[in-house]
Amino acid sequence: MTATATRPQDAASPAARAKRAPKRERQGAAWVFLSPWVIGATVLTLLPMAVSLYLSFTDYDMFDAPQWVGFRNYTQMFTEDPRYWRSVITTLTYVVIAVPFQLVLALAVAIALKSVKRGKGFYRSAFYAPSLLGASMSIALVWRAIFNDGGTVDNLLSGVGIDIGGWINKPGWAILSVALLTIWQFGAPMVIFLAGLQQIPAELYEAAAVDGASWWRQFRSITIPMLSPVLFFNLVLQMIQAFQVFTPAFAVSAGKGGPADSTLVYTLYLYDRAFTASHMGYASAMAWALLLAIGVVTAVLFRTSRAWVFYANDNNEGAR
Amino acid sequence: MRKKRTKASCALALVLTLGGTLTGCGGGEGGGSGGKVTLRFTWWGNPDRAARTDQAVKLFEKRHPNIDISTSFAGFDTYKAKLATQAAGGDAPDVMQLDYRQINQYATSGILLDLGKHRELRTKDIDKGLLATGVVDDKQYALPVARGAEAIPYDAALWRKAGVPEPTIDWTWADWTDAMRKLKASKKDIGGRVGSTDPGQSEDVFEIWLRGRGKALYTEGGGLGFTADDLTRFWEFTTKLRKEGVVAPAEQTTQMDGTVENTPLGRLKAVSDFNWDAPSSGYDPIVGKGLKLAPLPAGDDGKPALYYKPSMFFGASAKSQHPKQAAQFIDFLLNDPAAGAILGATRGIPANDSIRDKVLPKLEGFDQVVSAYQKQFEGKLKDPPAAPPKGDASLQSTFTRDYDQVSYERLSPREAAENYITEAKAELKQ
């Protein structure tokens, strides 16, 4: 690069011409190439977000023009709506169950698959498949049938003498069946873990083995720290997605969040307010509260990450 | 370097994922036409209604080669939410099926076309009383399709097996309760089923119960026509029966979603249910020959508490590109004898007097059951209640949800009733 700049006789070469082209022109080209994304993001994301922010300060039933009500939606939400808080607690319960179990399972399977020699591709695809299917409504409906009374799970369990009945009709059990659907989709974080595992230099394990470190010791002192950035990435991503869980809760409760509001997760309540009760303003306020809450939780995670996420290249950077 | 990049990509992924929080919805539908006029027509209903409606639509298209009708249907809850969203976005279908509770809101918000101006649409045969229910601000915004009445669809074969006397037109809630207890006593003969769906979850049943006591859901002025005491009494009555095991348990009730397949009777866990008369045709393939309709219990005075309700309406979009054709199509569905013969009683007993008198007696199957069911009330019913006020649209689901808390014993009937009254007052802006 530096060589090109010091040799004026090369000025005619295309590379050099490109380099000397006015900055503005190059930026123009960049914008042209970016335009599909920029237009999409503006029209389909930023604009609706702005409208939603405006609506959150109004009373809007979709038929009459929005009426400005200031912070009333927010105060009502936080101080007068017991169902709102129930949906918050249900969502937190779900996040606390689904995310850790999913990540532990993903990591365990990734480690097991790492040492598989034959049929690697098959196993990876097989474990990844639920992640591709899982978000769909059809799978959620199958889930509803499996966990209903007289469904597969009920029959299997009562076959061995455990008589729970249909999970989806029991408050307490219903949210578990929703969480299980998420945990079952551990394939996506698993693939990321696999990639991360392969990045860990084999020398580290060899050296540890020579020193007589046990498997557990190697796992704790090499795998976990070396994998912590990937673990962190998966944690943040899965958590954000878990806070927004909708489809399985919707399908399992036929859109109602039952039994007795036990699967009424945050977004399902939001949907109920927006489309059943036609309180679009209130629902928009809920959406913004969720955005802020997820933002805060994520910020906290980033803060704590300084203490436990280990970046192998940090030392090199310091040396430079 | 690497640390920065990881952080940057984390942040980017984060922003993209968060964006999804606020803009979750999408999708749409397209329709093309090759020089033809295309009308969009949407309705709610069960597969039986869908099959017959498609047949009628085909006949119309055959007679009007220049008009294409593209149709879609859904269950009621889904339909209601989707139509409201479409209407708010200025994209209401050309012809739409409407519920009694939607007319006022849709008409006053400029979504519906004034159909009174369209000569293509004849109204002379439509029952005058019903016709008036589609008028808002002196304009005919919607046309009543049919009238319906609440009913108790039941398996008469099992009923007889248990030795329970057949329901009569003047049976009371006490008689109904006796019948349910008798059914429970002979549980072995009826395959271990319970007598009935839990009536506590249905606002429609509560309304009939209230009418039997001389009250109503809403007053003429659009206020609440009952108190927390009334609702508490009703829910204490149903809770007692549920605890006795006479009506379906909470686990069954919570699965109800507006389709007949997910009711206790539809799942073959109960002997009877509560539903509107026409949609009860959905039980026909499940229950079979024994399916009959019984009237809901009469009031304390022994007079039927039921009433005829306009079961649904047809309306056209004010923004339709082809209002004339839309009016033609509605006219065909309501007034054409051939269409009447195809549609039968799938939307209720037709509001068109001449179709009701000439076409209906020739029909067979469940249409006859519905027809005979309504005939027995001729001249015996009290006046229907006032039209539901604006803001009540979501109260039906509030009712069901509050009772869900009662049946799972999270709230007492009194607590849940107070909750309902508070929310109802807020929705009605009282």
**What are A19-50's pLDDT values in tens digits?**
555 666 678 888 888 999 999 999 999 999 99
**B176 vs chain A: nearest CA distance in angstroms?**
27
User: A174-221: per-residue pLDDT in tens?
Assistant: 999 899 988 998 999 999 999 999 889 989 999 998 998 888 999 988
The CA-based angle B342-B57-B324, given to 5 degrees, is 120
Q: Which of A74-83, B55-64, B300-309 is predicted with the least confidence, judged by mean pLDDT?
A: B300-309
Tokens for B304, please give them. Answer: 């039927």
Least CA distance to B3: which residue of chain A?
A: A311
Question: Any chain B CB within 8 A of the CB of A241?
Answer: yes
Tell me the chain B residues in contact with residue A166 when contact means C-beta distances shorter than 8 Å: 251
**At residue A317, does pLDDT exceed 50?**
no
**B82 vs chain A: nearest CA distance in angstroms?**
8
Predicted local distance difference test score (pLDDT) of residue A23: 66
Q: Which B residues in the span 111-130 are in contact with A, Cβ-Cβ below 8 Å?
A: 111
**A44 vs chain B: nearest CA distance in angstroms?**
8
Q: What is the band of A314 on the pLDDT scale with cuts at 50, 70, 90?
A: low
**At residue B24, does pLDDT exceed 80?**
no
Least CA distance to B252: which residue of chain A?
A: A169
Cα–Cα distance measured from residue B208 to residue B142, given in angstroms and rounded to the nearest whole number: 26
Give every CB contact of residue B187 below 8 A, 6+ residues apart in sequence.
B193
Q: What is the band of A1 on the pLDDT scale with cuts at 50, 70, 90?
A: very low
Write a three-state SS string for chain A.
Answer: CHHHHHCHHHHHCHHHHHHHCCHHHHHHHHHHHHHHHHHHHHHHHHHHHHHHHHHCCEECCCCCCCEECCCHHHHHHHHCCHHHHHHHHHHHHHHHHHHHHHHHHHHHHHHHHHCCCCCHHHHHHHHHHHHHHCCCHHHHHHHHHHCCCCCHHHHHHHHCCCCCCCHHHCCCCHHHHHHHHHHHCCHHHHHHHHHHHHHCCHHHHHHHHHCCCCHHHHHHHHHHHHHHHHHHHHHHHHHHHHHCCCHHHHHHCCCCCCCCCCCCCHHHHHHHHHHHCCCHHHHHHHHHHHHHHHHHHHHHHHHHHHHHCCCCCHHHHHHC
In this complex, do A258 and B404 lie within 8 Å of one another by their Cβ atoms? Answer: yes
Question: Any chain A CB within 8 A of the CB of B71?
Answer: no
Predicted local distance difference test score (pLDDT) of residue B8: 53
**pLDDT, mean over chain B:** 86
Tokens for B362, please give them. Answer: 């020739």
Least CA distance to A165: which residue of chain B?
A: B251
CA distances from B374 to A2, B138, B205 (A): 93, 30, 17
The CA-based angle B311-B372-B172, given to 5 degrees, is 80
Across residues B32-45, what is the average pLDDT? 80
Least CA distance to B106: which residue of chain A?
A: A63
**A11 vs chain B: nearest CA distance in angstroms?**
33
User: B87-118: per-residue pLDDT in tens?
Assistant: 888 899 999 999 988 888 888 888 999 998 88
Walk me through the domains of chain B, giving residue ranges and CATH numbers: 38-147+310-375 (3.40.190.10), 150-306+394-427 (3.40.190.10)
Name the range with the highest mean pLDDT among A310-319, B178-187, B225-234: B225-234
Name the range with the highest mean pLDDT among A108-122, A162-176, B264-278: B264-278
Higher-scoring residue by pLDDT: A2, B293: B293
**B184 vs chain A: nearest CA distance in angstroms?**
21
How many interchain CB pairs under 8 A, A with B?
120
Predicted local distance difference test score (pLDDT) of residue A96: 94
Across the interface, of B6, B20, B254, the residue whose CB is closest to A244 is: B20
In this complex, do A169 and B250 lie within 8 Å of one another by their Cβ atoms? Answer: yes
Q: Which of A104-118, A304-318, B66-80 is predicted with the least confidence, judged by mean pLDDT?
A: A304-318
Contact B380, B303 (CB under 8 A): yes
Q: Which A residues in the span 260-319 are in contact with B, Cβ-Cβ below 8 Å?
A: 260-261, 267, 275-278, 287-288, 290-291, 294-295, 298, 311-314, 317
Question: Any chain B CB within 8 A of the CB of A229?
Answer: yes
Least CA distance to B258: which residue of chain A?
A: A254
**B160 vs chain A: nearest CA distance in angstroms?**
28
Across residues B248-256, what is the average pLDDT? 89
The CA-based angle B194-B195-B199, given to 5 degrees, is 105
Interface test with B, best of A49, A73, A169 (most B CBs within 10 A): A169
Tell me the chain A residues in contact with residue B397 when contact means C-beta distances shorter than 8 Å: 256, 276
In this complex, do B24 and A246 lie within 8 Å of one another by their Cβ atoms? Answer: yes
Higher-scoring residue by pLDDT: A257, A73: A73
Tell me the chain B residues in contact with residue A254 when contact means C-beta distances shorter than 8 Å: 255, 257, 262
Structure pTM?
0.83
User: A133-151: per-residue pLDDT in tens?
Assistant: 867 778 888 888 888 887 8
Walk me through the domains of chain A, giving residue ranges and CATH numbers: 2-55 (no CATH), 72-319 (1.10.3720.10)
Predicted local distance difference test score (pLDDT) of residue B32: 42
Tokens for B86, please give them. Answer: 């479409």
Residue A88 region by backbone torsions, left for phi larger than 0, else alpha for psi between -120 and 50, else beta: alpha
Question: Any chain A CB within 8 A of the CB of B17?
Answer: yes
* Residues counted in chain B: 430
Question: Any chain A CB within 8 A of the CB of B393?
Answer: yes
Across residues B406-430, what is the average pLDDT? 91
Across residues B120-128, what is the average pLDDT? 88
Tell me the chain B residues in contact with residue A295 when contact means C-beta distances shorter than 8 Å: 18
Across residues B245-272, what is the average pLDDT? 89
Tell me the chain B residues in contact with residue A255 when contact means C-beta distances shorter than 8 Å: 77-78, 257
In this complex, do B408 and A259 lie within 8 Å of one another by their Cβ atoms? Answer: yes
Tokens for B124, please give them. Answer: 């002379």
**At residue A130, does pLDDT exceed 90?**
no
Across residues A68-85, what is the average pLDDT? 92
